Chains A and B, each alone.
Chain A
Amino acid sequence: MNRGSLPTAPAGPVLRSHHDPGARHAVANREAMLGRLAEIEELLAQARLGGGARYVERHHARGRLLARERIELLCDRDAPFLELSPLAANGTEYEVGAAVVTGVGVVSDVECVVIAHDPTVRGGAANPYTLQKSLRALDIAARNRLPVVNIVESGGADLPRQSEIFVPGGRIFRDLTRLSAAGIPTVALVFGNSTAGGAYVPGTCDYTVMVRGRAKVFLGGPPLVRVATGENAGDEELGGAEMHSRTSGLSDHLATDEHDCLRLGREILAHLRWRKLGPGPTEPADPPLYDPEELLGIPSTDHRIPFDAREVIARLVDGSRFDEFKPLYGGSLVTGWASVHGFPVAILANNGVLFSEESEKAAQFIQLANRIDTPLLFLQNTSGYMVGRAYEQGGIIKDGAKMINAVANSTVPAITVMIGGSFGAGNYGMCGRAYEPRFLFTWPNHRIAVMGPQQLAGVLSIVARAAAEARGQVYDEAADAMMRQAVEGQIERESLALFATARLWDDGIIDPRDTRTALGIALSACHSAEVRGTGTYGVFRM
């Protein structure tokens, strides 16, 4: 896209903010948010250390680069890089980050998905989270038509965990060859071990580069060969870079060292003559009129306290321009047109609970966006669809289903940002993880659960009380109180952003101030593929 041809005169209505960053609640919100961010930064620092200082040192002492150092050298200088799910596996028995670094970056002017094993974490061996994170990266590549660069140095499966990895792990190679079949280039840069199943990463990629004296790619290493066949063979002859470059042909390029390998990887990308299929940015990409810094003070960390989504939109979109659709109808869902970094978007943002009007408005708006091939941006902050007699009788299920139908069958790219609560079926209607948004980011204040902790505990309590009463027993109020407290605590914990991000329910927690940038990268990635809407949906129940 020739940026010189972009219109320069901004058009469209501009949002007016009513947020007072100096207000007491805003200052308190900001402080609470900064507290969360500090906690997250601590975990990120831990993730960056991979297997810990000792292993990092040892790796460097061997003249090897760390996963993130390899990525930095692979990517274009000063180009943005969006790391995905850096806190995966946090709070589990595995190292935070899950022994793999994934992200969207720019290599030789080509936007790519990069997947780099972290050899400082148990030799880069894959655990279930590693697998999940890698598969998600491949999914992003496939959906957005992004070339993939694998930075390979992994001992394969974490053997004691093989039962959780072996069977689903085959998807990695399936996905890699399917990417290739779809015309999406795949590259393997092999820096070290890539054994057993791992050997099929170079095996299934379009291009392979191996580092001389470092890369070891074989189905069975010397010990396994000895056990299996009695043959005594050295690792270089079984799977060295020289052998694969000169004898087996598994390697296309022999790199003299790690830098050379990354240089060759960049050259491969440069020679792809890659062309994105989306139209690219078409609108002026001027910054918002309001300071994104103020986003910290807008949402409360208490998800029950509402905030106006327009205040968020005003700090995300180009020039704070927002052409609101149906402003007078279905007021707790804000819909409208805007652009982010020049990419047009159709925004759906919750201002609370979803009623029938909001659901129908959403279904209509999603269809309109599909008509004009415009990506959807969901800003989720909802306690779900409204319950109660009047609403059930008013057809809330029918109307909610229309929204779900529209979201599920929409074919324009969708990006979801969890800016607050995400409860109940509201998660689905607003394009939650199961609805396969191209990217899904989470703010630190985000809460996610089938319902709120108090509601969930309350429901359990009512059900238990009813059961006790049915059995003619006296309900143990003290036990009920304890149960409620325990359940509330558990749900509270399990609904936190950190819990969600550890389980790959999102593509990462982002600092609210970075939202515009992350969206820019995500939208640009979406435009690597064709941006095309649909006219085909399931039957809308009328």
Chain B
Amino acid sequence: MSGIERLLVANRGEIARRVMRTCREMGIATVAVFSDPDSGAPFVREADEAVRLPGASAAETYLRGDAIVEAALRTGADALHPGYGFLSENAGFARDCTAAGITFVGPPADVIAAMGSKLEARRLMAGAGVPVLPGVAAGDVTDAEGLARLAGEVGLPLLVKASAGGGGRGMRLVRDLAELEAAVASARREAAAAFGDGTLLLERYVEAPRHVEIQLLADTHGTTVHLFERECSIQRRHQKIIEESPCVAVDEALRERIGAVAVTAGRTIGYVGAGTVEFLLAPGGEHWFLEVNTRLQVEHPVTECITGLDLVRLQLLVAQGEPLPPEALAPRRAGHAIEVRLYAEDAERDFAPCSGTLHRFRVPALPGVRVDSGVEDGSVVSTHYDPMLAKVVAHAPDRAQAARLLAAALAGARLHGVTTNRDLLVRVLRHPEFLAGATDTHFLDRHPAAALGAPLVDEAAERLAAAAAALAGRARRAARRRVLGTLPPGWRNNPSQLERADFEGRHGCHRVGYREGREGLRLEVDGVQLDAAAVDAGEDAVVLEVGGVRRTYTVHVAGDVHHVHGPAGAVALRELPRFPVPEVAEPPGSLHAPMPGMVLRVEVGPGDSVAAGAVVAVLEAMKMEHAVLAGAAGRVAEVLVRPGQQVEAGAVIAVVEEG
């Protein structure tokens, strides 16, 4: 096979950029495909050529195999990299590429097909002597009795999984038979929506396991090697958020054992390219095959960090028909790498996806920190796709140092405009249990997100941040003053009161009072006078000396939100208006959309009686279902939405009159 000259990346965001980076380094021209909302995205700009996929939803765009193959043909791309998600594990698409004469960067379509069916994969693996968890196909069984019978075969607790799925979609945990029917129904619906295939699998559920996976590499010359393990136990909603390598629970002997099992698995199915074999690892070292991901994993950078290899480059070499290079045949490990997935989501609100304009996105460029991001300053985080903003990876000599470095990079990151899981990630990275290596997939169940996601910055530090924001505001207003611009801001010959600024932060509202006079700065927050001096107070940076300690704050304003970064971390403060406009009253009992999304179903009609906690409507946002529940028992007075309608966060869905 000849060398790849022009490669189309059938993906978006950070992975598209990641693949294109290696292409550039290998002298391969790049082609992007993009949906309408992504038209201004960095990956589109960075590609040599880009082809529009009209529409916004994944189904209209990144899942349109035909349109993508057509784009490849139109641009003369001779190869296609599917990234992860979307069509990356779609055997039909891989076949279509091959049929069109385009090299599909991934394993043969048959392998994808075999591994894409979890049932088929289990059967194959069990046959090759790979340990598998007990599980059965749900088939078209929907009745309680039939499901109970299946559950009896598997044993409780069990996991309902989408056969075609991944990434936690269409996945439900069932501990009680009574929950099974509803779980199967909703998982099937979600799976059908996400993957176009509602086939389900019931599988035994292991308590307190670690999620450990082995990175495989296989070439077309019969060589299959592994690049050690990754641990991905810290998950929320069955989705990985922190991944690392090596795994603290894997010693050299176990590493060899699991690695050998994975290589066997790969050989059994005739794997080619980069793939991942996932295992559940019980505390005693027992492990079971979960599945094979026939693509590049989201978390591949941790392996790249510790091995120094470029997995995309190796994928492309294999795709060109070359044998694996020597450095891949005898891989070496160095240090420890940890990756976090930075999401636009609200950890305190059950990880609800968040959208909006990311006014600023900057992660400190610390040595050892790698940032794979799909966004930049000003990017709009839409509700159409996965809300991951970036992967941040730290590589250090040991795990403790990597965790500390990563936490510092995250804490210092400028993430303005969109709520993120940053605080949660930092708290996990600094958590004694995490640092002790006591990680399993239930970490976030034991340590509720509400607590972990609580603000990193305490109230006292938030107050100081508010003071800094007030002084930056003063500088900003002074700079924009149309008259008397060169005069001292806030000057009074008969000062009677302090200048005021009110902010709302995560610890409540703060009233800042300040006045700079001949005696220096008088500064009050929430009625308490600070022994403070403003060493420097510019629009973007404020140096405050409080109680003899000097601290530097940077301030960035987007709309009425002041993003303040100080030594204690990042604080977002909304400035309250000087003249509050009297609010338009909305009827009591109004139920709001928790986030922007589409109304999937409305479960009630006007006049219906509802119990407290009853589902009133279901929204779909970020490909997840979110129920809007009645706060109290009552009668539905009004329903303001209909299925299929797009709603903004905070929109009134329905009004339930109490009683």
A184 — which chain B residues lie within 8 A by C-beta? none
Contact B492 A83 (CB under 8 A): yes
A68 — which chain B residues lie within 8 A by C-beta? 496-497
What residue in chain B is nearest A73 (Cβ atoms)?
B578
Contact B484 A521 (CB under 8 A): yes
A285 — which chain B residues lie within 8 A by C-beta? 486
- Which residues of chain A from 489 to 542 have a CB within 8 Å of any chain B CB? 508, 510-511, 513-514, 517-518, 520-521, 524
State A388–B599 Cα separation when bound (angstroms). Answer: 99
State A285–B481 Cα separation when bound (angstroms). Answer: 15
Contact B494 A47 (CB under 8 A): yes
A262 — which chain B residues lie within 8 A by C-beta? 579
The answer, yes or no, to whether A216 is at the interface (CB within 8 Å) is no
Contact B493 A510 (CB under 8 A): yes
> Which of under 10, 10 to 19, 20 to 34, or 35 or more describes the interface residues of A?
35 or more
The answer, yes or no, to whether A81 is at the interface (CB within 8 Å) is yes
State A390–B433 Cα separation when bound (angstroms). Answer: 100
| Other-chain residue from A66, A72, A256, A518 in contact with B493 (beta carbon distance below 8 A) | A518
The answer, yes or no, to whether B483 is at the interface (CB within 8 Å) is yes
Q: Given A76-B477, A341-B487, A513-B518, are A259 and B580 also a contact pair (CB < 8 Å)?
A: yes
State A229–B61 Cα separation when bound (angstroms). Answer: 83
Contact B481 A76 (CB under 8 A): yes
The answer, yes or no, to whether B474 is at the interface (CB within 8 Å) is yes
The answer, yes or no, to whether B499 is at the interface (CB within 8 Å) is yes
What residue in chain A is nearest B489 (Cβ atoms)?
A78
The answer, yes or no, to whether B582 is at the interface (CB within 8 Å) is yes
Contact A69 B497 (CB under 8 A): yes
B499 — which chain A residues lie within 8 A by C-beta? 72, 77-78
B483 CB → nearest A CB, Å: 6
The answer, yes or no, to whether B397 is at the interface (CB within 8 Å) is no
| Other-chain residue from A72, A81, A263, A281 in contact with B491 (beta carbon distance below 8 A) | A81
B273 CB → nearest A CB, Å: 58
The answer, yes or no, to whether B129 is at the interface (CB within 8 Å) is no
| Other-chain residue from B482, B488, B494, B580 in contact with A109 (beta carbon distance below 8 A) | B482
Contact B486 A341 (CB under 8 A): yes
- Which residues of chain A from 109 to 124 have a CB within 8 Å of any chain B CB? 109-111
B481 — which chain A residues lie within 8 A by C-beta? 76, 78-79, 106, 109
A510 — which chain B residues lie within 8 A by C-beta? 493
The answer, yes or no, to whether A342 is at the interface (CB within 8 Å) is yes
Contact A524 B489 (CB under 8 A): no
Contact B493 A524 (CB under 8 A): no
Q: Given A68-B496, A82-B493, A510-B493, are A517 and B579 also a contact pair (CB < 8 Å)?
A: no
The answer, yes or no, to whether B478 is at the interface (CB within 8 Å) is yes
Best-buried of A66, A83, A256, A262 by chain B (most CB within 10 Å): A83
Q: Given A256-B582, A263-B579, are A520 and B493 also a contact pair (CB < 8 Å)?
A: no
The answer, yes or no, to whether B368 is at the interface (CB within 8 Å) is no
The answer, yes or no, to whether A3 is at the interface (CB within 8 Å) is yes
Contact B494 A44 (CB under 8 A): yes
What residue in chain B is nearest A110 (Cβ atoms)?
B483
The answer, yes or no, to whether B490 is at the interface (CB within 8 Å) is yes
The answer, yes or no, to whether A452 is at the interface (CB within 8 Å) is no
State A536–B44 Cα separation when bound (angstroms). Answer: 72
What residue in chain A is nearest B477 (Cβ atoms)?
A78
| Other-chain residue from B484, B494, B501 in contact with A111 (beta carbon distance below 8 A) | B484
B523 CB → nearest A CB, Å: 14
Contact B487 A81 (CB under 8 A): no
State A311–B580 Cα separation when bound (angstroms). Answer: 49
State A510–B496 Cα separation when bound (angstroms). Answer: 16
Contact B483 A109 (CB under 8 A): yes
The answer, yes or no, to whether A244 is at the interface (CB within 8 Å) is no
The answer, yes or no, to whether A323 is at the interface (CB within 8 Å) is no
State A262–B518 Cα separation when bound (angstroms). Answer: 29
Q: Given A79-B484, A80-B492, A82-B493, are A260 and B477 also a contact pair (CB < 8 Å)?
A: no
Number of residues in B with C-beta < 8 Å to the partner?
27
Residue-wise, chain B 458-489 has the 8 Å CB interface mask toward A (1 for contact) of 00000000000000011001100111111111
A513 — which chain B residues lie within 8 A by C-beta? 518
State A342–B492 Cα separation when bound (angstroms). Answer: 20
State A359–B416 Cα separation when bound (angstroms). Answer: 66
Best-buried of A81, A256, A276, A508 by chain B (most CB within 10 Å): A81
Contact B494 A86 (CB under 8 A): yes
Contact A106 B484 (CB under 8 A): yes
Residue-wise, chain B 190-223 has the 8 Å CB interface mask toward A (1 for contact) of 0000000000000000000000000000000000
- Which residues of chain A from 60 to 106 have a CB within 8 Å of any chain B CB? 66, 68-69, 72-73, 76-83, 86, 106
State A299–B54 Cα separation when bound (angstroms). Answer: 79
Contact A80 B477 (CB under 8 A): no
B270 CB → nearest A CB, Å: 69
State A263–B578 Cα separation when bound (angstroms). Answer: 9
Q: Given A83-B492, A259-B580, are A342 and B486 also a contact pair (CB < 8 Å)?
A: yes
A509 CB → nearest B CB, Å: 9
B485 — which chain A residues lie within 8 A by C-beta? 3
Q: Given A73-B578, A262-B579, A513-B518, are A80 and B484 also a contact pair (CB < 8 Å)?
A: yes
State A66–B360 Cα separation when bound (angstroms). Answer: 42
State A474–B473 Cα separation when bound (angstroms). Answer: 77
- Which residues of chain B from 484 to 519 have a CB within 8 Å of any chain A CB? 484-494, 496-497, 499, 501, 518
State A521–B579 Cα separation when bound (angstroms). Answer: 26
State A79–B477 Cα separation when bound (angstroms). Answer: 8
A444 CB → nearest B CB, Å: 13
Contact A83 B494 (CB under 8 A): yes
A439 CB → nearest B CB, Å: 12
A342 — which chain B residues lie within 8 A by C-beta? 486
A303 CB → nearest B CB, Å: 23
Contact B494 A517 (CB under 8 A): no
The answer, yes or no, to whether A48 is at the interface (CB within 8 Å) is yes
What residue in chain A is nearest B515 (Cβ atoms)?
A78
Contact A86 B478 (CB under 8 A): no
Residue-wise, chain A 264-290 has the 8 Å CB interface mask toward B (1 for contact) of 001000000000100001000100000
A259 — which chain B residues lie within 8 A by C-beta? 579-580
A281 — which chain B residues lie within 8 A by C-beta? 486
A263 — which chain B residues lie within 8 A by C-beta? 578-579
Contact A524 B483 (CB under 8 A): yes
Contact B486 A508 (CB under 8 A): no
Contact A80 B487 (CB under 8 A): yes
Contact B486 A521 (CB under 8 A): no
Contact A511 B494 (CB under 8 A): no
| Other-chain residue from B490, B491, B492, B579 in contact with A260 (beta carbon distance below 8 A) | B579
| Other-chain residue from A47, A110, A260, A517 in contact with B488 (beta carbon distance below 8 A) | A517
B524 CB → nearest A CB, Å: 15
B579 — which chain A residues lie within 8 A by C-beta? 73, 259-260, 262-263, 266
B492 CB → nearest A CB, Å: 6
A340 CB → nearest B CB, Å: 10
Given pairs A48-B496, A78-B481, A79-B484, 7 additional interface contacts (CB within 8 A): A69-B497, A73-B578, A80-B489, A106-B481, A341-B486, A524-B483, A524-B484
Q: List 21 contacting pairs A-B, 8 Å CB cutoff, sorted by A.
A: A3-B485, A68-B496, A69-B496, A76-B477, A77-B477, A77-B578, A78-B499, A79-B484, A79-B489, A80-B488, A80-B490, A80-B492, A83-B492, A86-B493, A86-B494, A106-B481, A109-B481, A276-B483, A341-B484, A520-B486, A520-B487
The 10 closest A-B pairs by CB, nearest first: A263-B579, A80-B491, A285-B486, A68-B496, A78-B489, A83-B494, A109-B482, A78-B490, A86-B494, A80-B487
